Amino acid sequence: MVTIKVNNLIDFVADVFSHAESSPEEARRIATYLTTANLTGHDSHGVIRVPVYVRWKKTGNVVPNQTAEIVVDTPSLAVVDGRFGYGQTVAPFAVKTGIEKCRKAGLAAVALRNAGHIGRIGDWAEMAAAEGLVSVHFVNAAGSLLVAPFGGVEKRLSTAPYCVGIPRAGQDPIVLDFATSIVAEGKVLVASRGGKKLPNGALIDADGTLSEEPSVLYGPYTPDGPRDHTRGTGAIRAFGEHKGSGLAFICELLGGALTGTGATSGGRRFANGMLSFYIDPKVVDTSNYFDGEITRYADFIRATKPVAGVDQVLIPGDPERKTRTERTANGVPLPDDTWAAIVNTAREVGVSEVSIQRATS
């Protein structure tokens, strides 16, 4: 395990993407969002994605320095085409569009289609919450067949994230952000590169055998080689049996089909689709009841007597706040295999050895 200081990690990852044809502004934006995912404990959506992103750029699946296009524009609704730009560029544009419309109308919807990987969806809920807005996000990943629906063994769904953000007066927002699979694909990636092991039975093989071995999803791989989910014989399982599978199906229809990205299927270009709703609590809650009631209810939940082995019952966002505090102070821990893969990618795009050494100083 290596531990990298936060600013060093952002600088280094920005250097990688600058060498991969992104503008300095885009490179730093990608680096900052990826590192923020690590800071919150979502390593699956953090800098481990660097080799994947660069590979996608080389194959033309993602386009550097792309400008998103608003193709439908009404007072309360917009459709934004990301034109396969980096998600860290086109998703903030879509969210900003939703925020601006919601400020005027009190309620807004934005459909983002054809975006590169948009990373941790909680970033976009936090962006809206910073402006005092509630947001709800349905997301899919077209071309990313990873998850078996309940009762099946074949890949038919993406990990189909769902996210809700709720602003708090003078406090961090409440953010619920999860894949509708037992684990996100990035967590399988982390496990395959020497990180945290998968929960028992997170994967299912073609014969119905439950497994937690990443090779079930990726097939055979070398420690620093690429991971390709099309080579594995198995799939990730949906969480919560029929409930998670059903929610994933809805994310595919709303985040994928309705946005124009398309519900996921094999053999097509990767793209994230996201359908987002924005609500201004000040318009709904004219008596200023909402925030006080959140405080009362959050305290009520946290005061629940915990089961044996649990220190305290938590609400969404509590684990991320704790991890962010620890890693901001101490640095971001990365498994050796993960760091080696990132360094190899840096060398491939021409990052200097001095820059690599500086990252770990």
Could you tell me the CA-to-CA distances from 149 to 145, 181, 237, 249, 281 in Å, in that order? Answer: 11, 9, 7, 9, 36
Query: Hey, where are the domains in the chain?
Result: 2-62+331-359, 69-181+238-284, 197-237
Q: Which of 2.30.30.40, 1.10.1530.10, 3.40.50.10860, 3.40.50.720 is the CATH number of 2-62+331-359?
A: 1.10.1530.10
| Residue 349 neighbours by CB distance under 10 Å | 17
Low-confidence ranges of the chain (pLDDT < 70): none
CB atoms within 10 A of CB 307: 7
Query: What's the pLDDT score for residue 70?
Result: 98
Topology classification of domain 69-181+238-284: Ribosomal Protein S8; Chain: A, domain 1 (3.30.1370)
pTM of the model: 0.94
Q: Residue type at 251?
A: C
| Whole-number Cα distances in Å, 225 to 19, 230, 340 | 21, 15, 10
What Å distances lie between residue 129 and 38, 59, 84, 276, 281, CA to CA?
A: 20, 35, 26, 13, 11
pLDDT value at position 194?
A: 87
End-to-end CA distance of the chain: give it in Å, rounded: 15
